[in-house]
Structure 1
Amino acid sequence: MDLETGCYYHLYNRSNNCERLFRNTDNYLYFLDNFRNRFEDLLSVFAYCLMPTHFHFLIKVETREIDQLKQHIGIQLSAYTKALNKALGRHGSLFQQHTKAKLIDDQAYLIRLLSYIHQNPIRAGLVKDLKSWPFSSYLDLAGYRNGTLVDHSLVKREFGSVEKFRKFSERSISI
């Protein structure tokens, strides 16, 4: 995985064999709390969505310690796997071996990706509207919740208002 300071990335991974990564609300919150604690000084999060079998983050690398950041990504996934394995009495890997980090170097694509990430639960048939999925940053960025994981500066800069962001986000986006 190639990462560079100051660049935006679509960071994502999925489970092996479509196994559920998150079995209940506590699993989702545990993953997010650990993510926040592990990465708060290394990167900025502009969007995220945790799905039952995969996750998406739109991040910007802030640290110059790229090797440390890569190591922390691996630690995040192995620590979550270890906790879930212990809770469920299971063994073995949970995530696919390589977390993907796609460089986002086009501003228009960056904005489409912001919406695409939030629309994952709708496309998967889990919910009918964006407000109904609690495990994404949409609720925070759209002003429905006061979470502290996501950086709102991208939405403020590109949309100017929460209302414009909401309208944009409700349109179906494909990437």
Structure 2
Amino acid sequence: MPKNYYPPLEAGKTYHIYNRGINSTAIFKSDANYRHFLKLYDEHCSCVVDTYAYCLLGNHFHLLVKVKDILPTYGDLYPQFSQGEVNKKVSQSVEPSRQFSHFFNAYTQGFNHFCSPKRTGTLFERPFKRIEVNSDAYFSNLVVYIHQNPRKHGFEYDFRIYPYSSYNSHLSEKKTRLDREEVLEWFGNREEYRSFHEGEVDDKIEDFIIEE
């Protein structure tokens, strides 16, 4: 099995998904890039995952997601498959890993097109990295780790005011596509959520993540 092999995402499982630009190149250069990334993520991936947390930083990103227990079929997402000749994919469940690949490809095409001068080729490292989250402690520490990343990488010392993470979305009362209530219930309430973020994450979490 290749060293960089990652098994496909499985229904009902929770994952830390993260990746960076190829050769550590920037994948976000403007506010518009960040917003477009989230828009495409919603379009391509919200059908197959529930999102708990995220953070986007310059040349990499982090996502904490749970693959839906029941996945849509290709016929659900792409009605054109059911038109004309019978297509075997109509009744097949959508593959979460493939949806993420479609998402990355769509973002890359837009990013390359608007770069000046225009760039070509792959933007993200392949395959995208994923780790199954299979313990309560890992989940709790991972939420905080993801939100504290702006401080870790020198983007913003006060991670609480960094605009491209889900930290404040969890505290807000505004409508969100995040699975906010489950995250807040996990920590107990908003105050416990804030308090947990003031601490340091378990050093062991670093053993699972390779960003540099």
TM-score normalised per structure 1: 0.93
- For 2:180, the equivalent position in structure 1 comes to 152
AA aligned to 2:36 is Y
Q: Output aligned runs, 1:1-175, within 5 Å.
A: 1-62=7-68, 63-64=70-71, 68-88=95-115, 89-143=118-172, 146=174, 148-173=176-201, 174=203, 175=205
Percent identical pairs in the alignment equals 33
Q: CA deviation at 1:172?
A: 2.2
* 2:10 alignment partner, SS class: coil
**Alpha carbons of 1:147 and 1:21: their partners in 2 closer, same or farther (altered >3 Å)?**
farther
RMSD over aligned CA atoms reads 1.6
User: In the alignment, is the contact (CA less than 8 A) between 2:11 and 2:67 conserved in 1?
Assistant: yes
Measured in 2, the distance between the counterparts of 1:76 and 1:64 equals 17
Q: 1:81 touches 1:94 (CA, 8 Å); kept in 2?
A: yes
Is residue 119–residue 172 contact of structure 1 (8 Å, CA) maintained in 2? Answer: no
Per the normalisation by structure 2, the TM-score is: 0.77
Closer/same/farther in 2, CA of residues 18 and 147 from structure 1, 3 Å limit: farther
Mapped contact 1:39–1:72 kept (Cα < 8 A)? yes
Distance 1:147 1:122 in 2: 27
Alignment length, in residue pairs? 174
Consecutive aligned runs of 4 or more in structure 1 exceeding 4 Å deviation: none
Displacement of 1:147 in angstroms is: 5.4
In the alignment, the residues of structure 2 paired with residue 18 and residue 40 of structure 1 have an alpha-carbon distance, to the nearest angstrom, of 26
- DSSP 3-state at the match of 1:113: helix
Instruction: State which structure, 1 or 2, has the greater radius of gyration over its C-alpha atoms.
Output: 2
The answer on whether the counterparts of 2:8 and 2:97 sit within 8 Å (CA) in structure 1 is: no
Q: Is the 8 A contact 1:130 1:170 kept in 2?
A: no
Amino acid at match of 1:162: R
Q: What is the deviation of 1:96?
A: 0.2
Cα deviation, residue 2, structure 1: 2.7
Query: Gaps spanning 5+ residues in structure 1: where?
Result: none
Q: For 1:85 and 1:24, how far apart are their aligned partners in 2? A: 13
Shift of 1:38: 1.4
Aligned AA (1:23): K
SS of residue paired to 1:49:
strand
Letter in 2 for 1:125: G
